[in-house]
Every structure is written in structure tokens, then in C-alpha cells.
Structure 1
Amino acid sequence: MADYHTLIVGAGFSGIGAAVNLDKAGLADYLIVEAGDGVGGTWFWNRYPGVAVDIPSFSYQFSFEQSPNWSRTYAPGRELRAYAEHCVDKYRLRSRIRFNVEVSGAVFDGDENVWRVELNTGEIITARFLVNASGVLTIPKLPDIDGVDSFSGVTMHTARWDHTQDLTGKRVAIIGTGATAVQVIPEIAPIVQQLTVFQRTPIWCFPKFDVPLPTAARWAMRVPGGRTVHRLLSQAYVEFTFPLAAQYFTVNPFAKRADAAGRAYLRREVRDPVLRDKLTPRYAVGCKRPGFHNTYLSTFNRDNVTLVTEPIDKITGSGVATADGTTYDVDVLILATGFKVMDVDAMTFDITGPSGQTLSAFWEEHRMQAYEGVSIPGFPNYFTVMGPYGYVGSSYFALIEAQTHHLVRCIAQADRRAAHRVEVRQEANDRYFAEMMRKRHRQIFWQDSCTNANSYYFDRNGDVPLRPASTPEAYWRSRSFDLDDYRFTG
């Protein structure tokens, strides 16, 4: 007999959402294991200066637990951590979470029809069902630069920020100009002696309507229907600016005008035309996720900020050397190089099916794919929240709610049928993957300019495992997919 009915890996918002939906379905025999000593996932680990959501707060929350306590239209990271703590306490999840526990690997026992999950403590936990809620913004990605480990000063990745380090008056280098760097650079530039920013690919950046919420707005969120109105308006904005723009690029004329808006913002913010040209992307808006910030671009006007676009040759004991022979001596090296996202290496632990094949090997052989982004053939009783072709690009909370509803439908049906195994049928998976391939031509990613974007959306096969759909479609399908697409046995 299994130790638990369901084991959930990760106590971020994906794990919290899965647990709440399991409780609602009366499937309360579960355990959550979490590598950190707190909840919140991405928002627990990422505490760099300026960390905040890049989607309006009204959309970046569960639809069933809408907070009236956001201080701004775009909440800072500390409020997301507080919101995670609130959800865990309100829904009484804390007693079913084990902190400071990492999963080393999981193997499906075909004789007993259970997952045997090895922890870093040396324990083996068994569970009928395994839910991987460890997310994609999990494993910090180190730059592939010679000597990155040889720097004698302070090195830190933005996802593991060391707040004991005081940057005041220091010479600081930051590698990367993605979404994280867009938030960090304006925060630290005023206090450091010199900030050298190493840019490989510029990012499209747009203004952000980030303002404190007035008392009247907070009051409106507490009256009946107030939060629903705020959320609907926010959802419409989010849907219009990414899923509809990126997933339906070929039929959406607005998306094709975004480049002009980005260039106009650059002209307003950056005085030096040479610098402005260096900060101008050579790819269409949407090839990679754009940044939203009100002072990122103007920060490069500061005398103590230098933008370097020459390729990095190596990192030395004292700083960063570029291909033109210049060495930039620095005291602190910040790696704003993101995460392993669309990559089999992004998996935090090995998953081995009953045939002995690992999930990473399956994806290496067959390309990244998953039925509705949730299930993979050959891996029974296993579900993932952030699987390939699940995410449409809007709020992660929309994804979490759709995916957890899908997997709970499967688990509940297995219990009703007293089935030992539930596994997506190969023909259903093939049909879904073919649909993704058939529809992807309308996405922005397949335009010629995207080859210059260096976007993490692309995996090593050149695929973009994002779902070419709208949020309402993904939400509806999680509630209407044919359960006969799964095989229930035993």
C-alpha cells in the first residue's frame, strides 16, 4: 500500500493550486515536498532588488482567492510571498508540507503500481499519483563563459541574491539584459560606483502602468463584485498584450505595430543615438518575452552606467574580458542569466517510467511534448503542471488553474473506477501534438526575425513548446477533454 495517495513536488503556486483542487475533490491524502524552507516557489527564491510581477496583480492570483491587499497595480515580490503564505494558511496546507526536502528521483513500480520517490534524506516515499509542480523558473542558468568560476570577488545569480552584500560604492558588472535585469539595473545603478552591463541581445522594453493603488481602489475591491471587475479588466489587458498578440500574430494587426511603439519609447528614454541603437532589438516584439519598466532604458543615460555589447571572451580573477581585448575590473559579478526553461535539463529530478525509460530520454528522442501540457504516454499516474504545450503566455495562475483542474479530473476518475493506473493514450497524445504543429504557423515565433532573438522559448530542437491558443480555450479544454483519451486499468 502506498504511503500517500498523491505526492506533490513543489510548494510554489503550482503545488498550492494542485493541493487546493485535490482538497475540493475530496482527495486529501497527499503530501507536498519542498526544497526550500518556505512557500511561494519562484517568489521564495527570487529576492533581488526590484523584484516584482510583470503582469497586473489582479491577474497574478488565483481566481478563487483574490486578494484585496495589493499595494500596487504590479505587486512587489514580498507581497507575492505573503500571498502564498496566506493561501497555505487559509486552505490548511501547511501541515501537509515537508520543507527542506529535495526529490532525487522517481521510479514507477509496475508491479505495485506506485511511484517510488527518493528524497535527498535517503528516504523512499511511495505514492499512487505523482504531480510535478516544481515549475520552470527553478534551476538558475549559468552563462557558458570560460572562467565563470574563477572570479575572486563576489558572484551571485539573481535567483539566489545575497542580501548580506552591500553594493554601495562598488564596481558591479551584470551579465544579461532579460526580464530580471530590467528590474535589477534601475535599482542598483544609483548606489554603485560603476555599473557595467554586458548585453548579448537587447530586450524590447515598454512602459509599465505601475502605480500605488489609491484607497478608493482598495475599497472597491472589498465590495461585492469589485474584485471580479478588476480581474476581468486585467485579464482582458493581459490576453490582448501577449496570447492574442503572440499566438495569433499572423491574423492580429495590432501585434505588427508593437515594434513602432517600442522604438518610440526608446527615443523618448535614451538620449544618445549610438547607445539607443545598441539597445534596439533586431527582432520583432514577442519573439522573446518583453520587459516592462519605467526607468530601465533611462538608466543608461547615467554617467556611472556603461553598456557593453562586445562579446565576452572570459571571466578572470578580477573581472570580465571581452573579445576586443578590454578587461573590466569589478568587485561584484551579477549573473542575470535566467533559468533553464524549454530544456530537458530544466527537470529538477529524474523520472523513470515502468519500461525503464526516463522522461528526459523520451523528450530527447521524441521532442518535448505532453497531452494538453499535462500527461506523457508511457508515464502512468504522472502529471505535470508546467509541461510542454500547456502555457499560452498569460498569467501563470491561469495555467495553474487549467492544468490542476485537468489532472484532478483524471485522478478522481481513476478513483471512481478503482483503477490502479491512468495513462494518456498514445493516439491522443499524437493527435494533440499534431494539432500543436498544425497551428503554430500563426505564432510570432516563426517569423524570420525571431532567429536573432536568442529566446529561451526555443528548445534545442528549434521548437517553441508554447500552446498556440488563447487562455479561455485552454481553460475550457481542461474541463471538457475526453476522459477516454486516458486508459484506466486495474
Structure 2
Amino acid sequence: MSTHHDAVIVGAGFGGMGAAIQLKRNGYDDLLILEREDDLGGTWHVNHYPGLAVDIPSSTYSYSFEPNPYWSRLFAPGAELKKYAVHVADKYDLKRYMRFGTVVSGATWDEDESVWRVSLQGGETVTATYLVTATGFLSQPKMPDIEGIDTFQGKVIHTTAWDDSYDLTGKRAAIIGTGATAVQLIPEVAKQVSDLTVYQRTPIWVSPKSDTGIPKIVQKAFAALPFTQKAVRLTGTSILELLMVAGVLEYKNMSFVGKIAEQACKAHMRRQVRDPEVRRKLTPDYTFGCKRPTFSNTYFPTFNKSHVHLETSSITRIDESGIVTADGHRTDIDVLLLATGFNLWDVNFPAIEIIGKQGRDLGKWWRETRFQAYEGITVPGFPNLLSLNSPYSYSGLSYFTTVECQMKHMDRLLTAAQERGADVFEVKQEANDEFLERMRKKVGVSVFALGQCATANSYYFNQHGEATLLRPTSTIAAHREAARFPLEDYTYA
């Protein structure tokens, strides 16, 4: 097996596969996709907890160049996303590049040879002209730092490592977390257990979910007449874009959009939750958009059930058989379910150690200066690095919007390098600085700067309190810039 490749891609999820497809389009066929899990699909392979489904309309959650006419529902269940990932890998002949069960420990730029040296767990090293990191935004599970959690003698399950063999029937259960994952999980768990306590730190804005099955005749129409599905996709994308741009990014001038969304969510809750005290506890005190909202028709009614309890007092400790809260209340449980999300800012960005020119450590540099990446994909001092999960890269509410925007950037950049006969590219410091300043100014008029976000506990914010995850521009603007950024913003050699 060759140890040098045109490109090494870290991650076999939708980001990594999109990058591989683009590299092939640009004429690179010697690729190596390294994946730590035992199969492809990224988050849709790792996650398989009860109730798992995409939380935006399925029509928008796919590559625009590879639509899936066979989604069974408007919000497809997770198993269908995994199936779609396998379909993409098969159609675009990507599996032959993939190595599973392979953990990347780090990558270093070799300035003498102008290659990336990628170190694998176990001691193996491979080299590549280009390094693409596609490790995802939500790839590092966050474990709660609670006193005594290691002493609990019952079953502990994190949503990213769901144990399908464990029977919840009749069990006394506790769930920590009320984010988007928990909103899907809680109604399903409540159907099985004898008693369920939900420990909430931060409530979430939840709106009605127009989730219906898609009839076979409609699926056939989508397959036979692709433009019909494109029209549905455009409608769904436009609605999401309106929520994102008007309600979040343009908050200074259009704060009323967020207020309308808040009132809609509150009305949805009033229709579904009988107890006014429970409604009060479930109502966020932060501005809509500070934290990712979600959709559900089953989450709120779960709290009407007599065996489901909402606990908002903070957890003091966990012992061998239960949980004790700050008010002294104790709950004995058999199983502890952790819907505590992901750790973006401590162990991600980047997910592996990356050493660039002159020994610059990307993770340390980001934390010591600012989280930054030119157009959300390249970084000065790191030649031939395409970092897909980077600051200011997430565009819109569908991850595929981000992936395809970055594919467009890759196409323009790699084509320019090829036309110049160059093997090495690097974004200029001044171009990066200008982009960073522009993004910071745009964040300044968004809900992240002007809304009441202090109590949101949102992963949108890094440890410095800066909202550097989302790109504060419209999807249209992001795609336009990906196709037209000045080629002179890079050096080529």
C-alpha cells in the first residue's frame, strides 16, 4: 500500500465524502479517507438512539447534486440518513479510499518536502500533498463534570454510544440535558420506563413540527420529475434562510422576527403542557436564536405524564444509586442517560493536533489569538490544509450548505493552483485578517451580540464568549464568495 497520496481526508462523514467528490472532480484520484469508526456516515453512523431523526426538512439535508427522492418522512429518521450516506459512497466510488478503525493522532507540515505527515495511532505515518480535516462539528462527546458520577452503580449511556441491547422497560431513568438530542430522545424513553426524571439546565425553544409521511406516489414523482423535489427543497431552504438571516444574523434591524418565533413557540407549549409551573420551567429566558432551536410535537406532551418529572435544580452529586440536587432532593435511579451534547471548544477545533509552518500548533494558535479561518476553510501558516470544520464556516441551518460551499471554494482554489503549475497554496495573512474583521463586524449586529444570550449555554459561543461557529452571512452570499474570492488572496508555489 502506498504511503503517499494526493490528499488525506480525516473523517468519512458527509463532509469528508463531499471533499473526496470535489477532489476527484479536480483530477485527484490518489486519496486516503481515514475514519476512526468502523463504518462511514459520521454522526449518522455513531448516533442511533431512540427517536433519532434529522431536525430540519429532509429535502434540504442532502447534497443538492445528489437528491434522494425516497425519504419516507419530511423529517427523515436517522437510519435513512445512514442509508443515504452509503448510497453516496457507492455511487461516487468512495469506499475504495476509506480505512476504518483508524485513529489519526496528528499531522505535521514538512517544510522541506512540502507534504503533510499524518501520524496514525499505532505508529504508522502516511504523507499527502493536501490535508483535509472533516472531523465534524459534533464529533467529541461532552461528559458532564459532576461529583460522584464515576461511582454510580447502575447503567450509564451517552447518546453517542447508545446500547441497543439494554432494555429500558420498567426502569427508573434520569436524563441529563434538554438540547435537540434530548428533545428527540425523551418522548421515546418515557414510553418504556416506569419513572423518568429530566434534569434541565437550559430550556430550549421548540416549535411545531410539520412531520408527515411522504406517500410512495410523491416519492415516485420526485424520482421521475427531479424538478418537483428541487422546488420543495427551495421552499424548505428559503424558510430556514429566513429564520437564520432575519431572526439571527440581522437581529439589529429585524428583531421582530425572533420575537414572532418566540411567541409561536410559547403558543405551541401552551397548547401542549397543562401545568403552568411546568410551562414556566420549560420557557427559555434567552433570546430566540442564541441557542439552536428545534422542532417537536411530542416533547412537551411528555411532561403531562404522571411518571415524568422535570427537575431544574442543579445537580450537586451522583452516588451509587441516585442523584442529589442543590435543594437536597434525592432521586434513586437504575439508568442514567446522558444527552449532554458535544465538546466543540476544548477538544475540537481542531479534533487532532495539527502543526504548520515554523512549528505553529493550530489549536494553541486559535486559542491564543482568535478562532479564525479565511472563508471558513484555510488558515495562514498552514499550507495545503483544507479545514472543513473551522471557525466562521457553518453556513445556514443545513450542514450540506456548508459542505457544498466549501467544495466550491476547493474547486476555485485547486483549479487556480493547477493553472499556475503550483503544488502548494497558502492564504495570505492580510486576506485572513480582512475576512476575520468583516465577520466580527457582522456578528456585531446579530442576536449573538445584541440578544440576551448570557443564559443560553450555547455551543455557538467559544470559551472566550465569541460566537465564531456560524458564518454571519446569508447562504447566497457565502456561496457567491466561495466562487469569486480573489485568487490573489493566496500564494502559490
Question: What TM-score, normalized by structure 2, do the two folds share?
Answer: 0.97
Q: 1:100-139 to 2 correspondence within 5 Å?
A: 100-139=101-140
1:297-329: CA deviation from partner (whole Å, max 9, x where unpaired)? 110000110110011001111121111222211
Matched, 1:443 2:446: yes
Q: 1:319-358 to 2 correspondence within 5 Å?
A: 319-343=322-346, 345-358=348-361
Asked if 1 retains the 8 angstrom alpha-carbon contact of 2:349 and 2:363, the reply is: no
The answer for the alignment partner of 1:149 in structure 2 is 150
Matched, 1:234 2:240: no
Structure 1 residues 315 and 393 mapped into 2: Cα distance closer, same or farther (>3 Å)?
farther
**Deviation at 1:344?**
5.5
CA distance in 2, matches of 1:81, 1:324: 43
Matched, 1:388 2:391: yes
Asked if 2 retains the 8 angstrom alpha-carbon contact of 1:340 and 1:346, the reply is: no
Q: 1:208-357 to 2 correspondence within 5 Å?
A: 208-224=209-225, 225-252=227-254, 253-343=256-346, 345-357=348-360
**Deviation at 1:83?**
0.1
Asked if 2 retains the 8 angstrom alpha-carbon contact of 1:394 and 1:471, the reply is: no
Which stretch shifts more, 109-118 or 399-408? 399-408
**Deviation at 1:453?**
0.9
CA distance in 2, matches of 1:291, 1:43: 18
Q: Secondary structure at the match of 2:247?
A: helix
**Deviation at 1:456?**
1.0
CA distance in 2, matches of 1:402, 1:354: 27
The answer for the alignment partner of 1:188 in structure 2 is 189
The answer for the alignment partner of 1:34 in structure 2 is 35
CA distance in 2, matches of 1:262, 1:324: 30
Amino acid paired to 2:492: F
Amino acid paired to 1:38: D
The answer for the alignment partner of 1:376 in structure 2 is 379
Q: Secondary structure at the match of 2:150?
A: coil
The answer for the alignment partner of 2:80 in structure 1 is 79
Which stretch shifts more, 80-89 or 37-46? 37-46
**Deviation at 1:488?**
0.8
Asked if 1 retains the 8 angstrom alpha-carbon contact of 2:115 and 2:130, the reply is: yes
Which stretch shifts more, 404-413 or 315-324? 404-413
**Deviation at 1:234?**
1.5
**Deviation at 1:445?**
1.2
Q: Secondary structure at the match of 1:131?
A: strand
Amino acid paired to 1:43: W
CA distance in 1, matches of 2:407, 2:350: 19
Asked if 1 retains the 8 angstrom alpha-carbon contact of 2:45 and 2:82, the reply is: yes
**Deviation at 1:411?**
2.8
Structure 1 residues 244 and 27 mapped into 2: Cα distance closer, same or farther (>3 Å)?
farther
Asked if 1 retains the 8 angstrom alpha-carbon contact of 2:353 and 2:361, the reply is: yes
**Deviation at 1:343?**
4.5
The answer for the alignment partner of 1:24 in structure 2 is 25
CA distance in 2, matches of 1:87, 1:258: 35
1:223-275: CA deviation from partner (whole Å, max 9, x where unpaired)? 33222112111211221222432111222232232111111111111100111
Matched, 1:405 2:424: no
**Deviation at 1:417?**
2.3
The answer for the alignment partner of 2:55 in structure 1 is 54
The answer for the alignment partner of 2:433 in structure 1 is 430
CA distance in 1, matches of 2:166, 2:158: 13
* Aligned mate of 2:485, from 456, 481, 485: 481
Q: How many pairs were matched up?
A: 489
1:178-226: CA deviation from partner (whole Å, max 9, x where unpaired)? 0000000001101101011000111111111110002332132123322
Asked if 2 retains the 8 angstrom alpha-carbon contact of 1:131 and 1:385, the reply is: yes
**Deviation at 1:448?**
4.5
Alignment RMSD (CA, Å):
1.4
The answer for the alignment partner of 1:4 in structure 2 is 5
Which stretch shifts more, 107-116 or 336-345? 336-345
Amino acid paired to 1:30: L
CA distance in 1, matches of 2:103, 2:430: 34
Amino acid paired to 1:146: E
Q: Secondary structure at the match of 1:355?
A: helix
Identical residues among aligned pairs (%): 48
CA distance in 1, matches of 2:16, 2:72: 25
CA distance in 2, matches of 1:319, 1:105: 40
The answer for the alignment partner of 1:158 in structure 2 is 159
The answer for the alignment partner of 1:470 in structure 2 is 474
Q: Secondary structure at the match of 2:131?
A: strand
Amino acid paired to 1:468: P
CA distance in 1, matches of 2:478, 2:148: 44
Which stretch shifts more, 226-235 or 175-184? 226-235
**Deviation at 1:76?**
0.4
1:158-190: CA deviation from partner (whole Å, max 9, x where unpaired)? 011111111010011000000000000001101
**Deviation at 1:348?**
2.2
Amino acid paired to 1:249: Y
Asked if 1 retains the 8 angstrom alpha-carbon contact of 2:140 and 2:347, the reply is: no
Which stretch shifts more, 47-56 or 215-224? 215-224
Matched, 1:44 2:45: yes
CA distance in 1, matches of 2:79, 2:51: 10
Matched, 1:460 2:463: yes
**Deviation at 1:2?**
7.0
Amino acid paired to 1:471: T
Asked if 2 retains the 8 angstrom alpha-carbon contact of 1:287 and 1:445, the reply is: yes
**Deviation at 1:107?**
0.6
**Deviation at 1:341?**
2.3
CA distance in 2, matches of 1:388, 1:453: 20
Q: Secondary structure at the match of 2:413?
A: helix
Amino acid paired to 1:481: F
Asked if 1 retains the 8 angstrom alpha-carbon contact of 2:240 and 2:396, the reply is: no
Matched, 1:64 2:68: no
CA distance in 2, matches of 1:403, 1:365: 26
Asked if 2 retains the 8 angstrom alpha-carbon contact of 1:139 and 1:346, the reply is: no
Unpaired segments of 5 or more residues in structure 2?
A: none
Amino acid paired to 2:489: D
Q: Secondary structure at the match of 1:459?
A: coil
**Deviation at 1:55?**
0.8
**Deviation at 1:420?**
3.5
CA distance in 1, matches of 2:29, 2:249: 37
